[in-house]
Amino acid sequence: MSERGATVYEILRHVRPLVLNSARVVEASLRADGVSVGMRAVLEMLAEQGPMTVPDIADRLDLARQGIQRHVNDLAGLGWVESRINPAHRRSVLIATTPAGAELFARIREGELSRLDRMAAECTSEEITTALRVLAALSRDVRAEVRT
Amino acid sequence: MSERGATVYEILRHVRPLVLNSARVVEASLRADGVSVGMRAVLEMLAEQGPMTVPDIADRLDLARQGIQRHVNDLAGLGWVESRINPAHRRSVLIATTPAGAELFARIREGELSRLDRMAAECTSEEITTALRVLAALSRDVRAEVRT
DNA sequence: TCGGACATGACAACAATGATGTCATATCCA
DNA sequence: TGGATATGACATCATTGTTGTCATGTCCGA
């Protein structure tokens, strides 16, 4: 068995607790605004990529459109996102952050970034950049494997 | 805002879909044996670290002991793990893989490793090792943040 | 040695979320 | 134009993480 595959295996062993623990860390600030981690992911997508339809968000987050629709409906109920007429499609509306929603996400992101600055202090900027490249490649290939 | 923190943020953005997609990939082989991803994690811990108590497994997986107890009970019902008398504690039994359970996990792991060999082919062995180091440090620090 | 703090297994209930299915209608393409 | 597909709305279910309770066993300090 190749050493490479075994190292990738070790990486994947770390990501599950990492996702759980990072969700736990941001959970408190999110609850104060009535936002769940799923809703936060939708808000992030809209804030960074601009308005898009529900199926578009679902595709980019690798989730079913039905689940995203729930998050969008919840976010709309809270006033963080709103629908806009889609010039290219009468039935499928565009979802966009409201000014308040954009502000909320900026606040959330700022708080998270300030914590992340203190993480993995022993690693250099170059190592972290390398890790990002590896993670992105791995994520891309595993994603492709799903669609096999 | 530091570039470092932003890069770590990008890493964390990748891990959530990665966890979901990797779970989807291994899901099929697991279902054939009646094993869920949670049960697989417990089986992995016991196969690699040896017999331990339910609270021990929970601590190492960053999960509540109640959830682990469910997985252990399910695994025991399927004959993949069994309890042994704990010489150091009358009430808290040791959980261990059965020979069949150890064999099952070895089979699962072998299948997963063979897939992983083809992942992130553009990355060198050194880059993957660096990524593992960064992930481990990040995971450790985020875990510590939870307990704040 | 005793007593209180803590650990453990068993059981229960709940919330978030991912998966799946259906249906009416709109859209798109051959 | 007509059939295939996309979309929103609604519904259901399984997995799993979280939390709480209770009886009993264990451990440590006074």
At B93, which CATH number? Answer: 1.10.10.10
Task: Assess if residue A132 is contained within a domain.
Answer: no
Query: CB < 7 Å to strand C — which of 61-80 in chain A?
Result: 63-64, 66-67, 71
Are residue B81 and residue B51 in the same domain, yes or no?
yes
**Could you tell me the residue range of the domain that residue B146 belongs to?**
120-148
Contacts of A128 (CB under 8 A, 6+ apart): A120, B4, B7, B8, B11, B134
First to last CA, chain B: 24
State the total domains in chain A: 1
Query: In the structure encoding, which two tokens stand for residue A143, read together?
Result: 């994603």
Q: Residues B44, A142, B25, A60: is their CA dihedral positive or negative?
A: positive
Percent residues over pLDDT 70 in chain B: 99
Helix (H, G, I), strand (E, B) or coil at B94: strand
Are residue B125 and residue B53 in the same domain, yes or no?
no
Query: In the structure encoding, which two tokens stand for residue B57, read together?
Result: 């497994």
The residue behind tokens 């060999």 is B117
Say how many C-beta atoms besides its own lie within 10 A of residue A60's C-beta.
14
pLDDT of residue B29: 82
Are residue B112 and residue B95 in the same domain, yes or no?
yes
Query: In the structure encoding, which two tokens stand for residue A145, read together?
Result: 């494997």
Helix (H, G, I), strand (E, B) or coil at A3: helix
Query: In the structure encoding, which two tokens stand for residue B1, read together?
Result: 């805002």
pLDDT tens by residue, A90-100:
778 999 999 99
Question: How many alpha carbons fall within 13 Å on the CB side of residue B100?
Answer: 9
Helix (H, G, I), strand (E, B) or coil at B142: helix
Contacts of A20 (CB under 8 A, 6+ apart): B62, B63
* pLDDT, average across residues A129-148: 94
Are residue B110 and residue B131 in the same domain, yes or no?
no
B6 CB neighbours in chain A (<8 A) are 113
Reply yes or no on whether the pLDDT at A142 is more than 70: yes
B27: left (phi over 0), alpha (psi -120 to 50) or beta: alpha
Task: Assess if residue A99 is contained within a domain.
Answer: yes
- CA B108 – CA B78 distance, rounded (Å): 16
pLDDT tens by residue, B116-132:
989 999 999 999 999 99
pLDDT tens by residue, B102-112:
999 999 999 99
* pLDDT, average across residues A74-89: 89
Chain mean pLDDT for chain A: 93
Are residue B101 and residue B134 in the same domain, yes or no?
no
**Protein CA B88 to sugar C1' C18 (Å):** 41
Do residues A18 and B140 touch, judged by C-beta distance below 8 A?
A: no
Of A65-74, B13-22, B109-118, which range is least confident? B109-118
The CA angle A139-A142-A145, to the nearest 5 degrees, is 150
**CB B109 under 7 Å to nucleic chain C:** no
The residue behind tokens 């997508």 is A45
Are residue B91 and residue B143 in the same domain, yes or no?
no
- CA B43 – CA A50 distance, rounded (Å): 43
Are residue B132 and residue B77 in the same domain, yes or no?
no
Short-list A120, A112, A96, A105, CA closest to A46: A96
pLDDT of residue B1: 54
pLDDT tens by residue, A92-136:
899 999 999 999 999 999 999 999 989 999 999 999 999 999 999
Q: Closest residue of B to A2, CA-based?
A: B117
Reply yes or no on whether the pLDDT at B36 is more than 80: yes
Q: What is the DSSP letter of B124?
A: -
| Furthest CA-CA distance within chain B | 55
Reply yes or no on whether the pLDDT at B42 is more than 70: yes
Query: Rounded to whole angstroms, what are the CA distances from B135 to B16, B97, B131?
Result: 13, 29, 6
Are residue B89 and residue B132 in the same domain, yes or no?
no
Contact: A18, B141; criterion CB under 8 Å: no
Q: Which of A20, A112, A135 sits opposite B62 (nearest CB)?
A: A20
A143 CB neighbours in chain B (<8 A) are 17, 21
- CA B23 – CA B25 distance, rounded (Å): 5
Q: Between A and B, how many CB-CB pairs are < 8 A? A: 180
Are residue B30 and residue B90 in the same domain, yes or no?
yes
**CB A38 under 7 Å to nucleic chain C:** yes
- CA B36 – CA B49 distance, rounded (Å): 20
Are residue B30 and residue B67 in the same domain, yes or no?
yes
* pLDDT, average across residues A136-140: 96
Helix (H, G, I), strand (E, B) or coil at B54: helix
- CA A145 – CA B25 distance, rounded (Å): 7
Are residue B54 and residue B75 in the same domain, yes or no?
yes
